[in-house]
Amino acid sequence: MKIKDSVVFVTGANRGLGLAYVRELLSRGAKKVYAGVRDTASIALPGVIPIKLDVTNPDEVTAAAALCGDVTLLINNAGIAKAIGFLDPATIDTAREIFEANFYGPIRVTQAFAPILAANGGGAIINVLSVASWVNSGLLAPYAASKSAAWSFTNGLRAELSAQGTQVLGLHVGFMDTDMTKGFDAAKISPDEVAVKTLDGLEAGLEEVLADERTRAVKNGLSANPGIYLSPLKR
């Protein structure tokens, strides 16, 4: 799929990787960019159309799809992370909150927009995943579990949407230099660089993009003996 003249809907588009996607889409000639955000006043970029959207709110998802019937590319970027382990007493409630945003949210948005993509020729979907799809160090335990689930969703979705000609791309990345990773002492990649690599991959027809060296090393280590997922991932 080519970005030029495409119509794109980006969830969580007001900061971090979402904002980087919006800027890169505009620079590549996207005809229209919808920014799905909780606070529409947070969008000030010229040429970007803010759409009120909380991906955990079914009514807002339905309303957004009704307003944006010309979309040809959906980017499921919105998500949350919290530092908590599985044995913390608050984990069950925290995990429910994280899964609502990171797993059920993308499913809900995709269900709303998949018929629109079909009507507009197939188009494409990008799901923002993580190196944590494959490893769980225990520091961001429910977040990593949610990304594992989102990876499975992405693979199943690819099979379901092949008949309507929709390209499905999973973006895996480690730590990015965003608000979400403030306070983490780790090597971080620029969200602008990730946006470039993702859209390059989309235009090349790829189904998966591994945005940084850490992610590529982890992916290669999944089949090692012992598997890389058996040891905590070092920052």
Verify whether residue 32 is a known catalytic residue: no
SS3 call for 69 = coil
Q: Which of 82, 147, 188, 229 is catalytic?
A: 147
**Residue 80 DSSP symbol:** -
Rounded distance between C-alpha atoms, residue 140 and residue 174, angstroms = 13
Among 143, 188, 197, 219, the one annotated catalytic: 143
* Catalytic residue status for 147: yes
- Pick from 149, 129, 146, 142: nearest CA to 194: 129
Bridge partner list, 74: 9, 125
Phi, psi of 187 (to 5 degrees): -65, 135
CA 107 – CA 176 distance, rounded (Å): 24
Q: How many angstroms from the chain centroid is the CA of residue 119?
A: 23
**Which sequence positions are flagged as catalytic?**
143, 147
